[in-house]
Amino acid sequence: MAAKRIVAQALLILMPALLRLSLAAVYKVGDSAGWTTIGNIDYKQWAATKTFQVGDVIRSPISRQQ
C-alpha cells in the first residue's frame, strides 16, 4: 500500500517535467536553406517568425564538406 502511494506521488511530481519535455520544439536554423553563407538568407527574419520557449532545441547543421 505504501509503495503504491510513493509511486503515485512520484508520478505527480514527474508529470509536469515530462509534459514540458514533450512540448519542446526542434528548429533547424534557416529551415530548408540551412546554415549557409551562400545566397541571401536573413537569419534575423527567420528568427522573428519563431516563438522560442525554454527547452526548445535549435540545430545548425554544418556540412562536413565546407
Residue with cell 509536469: 16
Joined together, the cell numbers standing for residue 65 give: 564538406
Band the pLDDT of 11: cuts 50, 70, 90: confident
- 22-65 per-position pLDDT tens digit: 677 888 888 777 777 777 888 888 889 988 988 888 888 765 55
pTM of the model: 0.51
State whether the Cα torsion 35-37-38-43 is positive or negative: positive
Estimate to the nearest angstrom the gap between the alpha carbon of 9 and the chain centroid.
28
The angle at the Cα of 27, spanning 18 to 42, to the nearest 5 degrees, equals 155
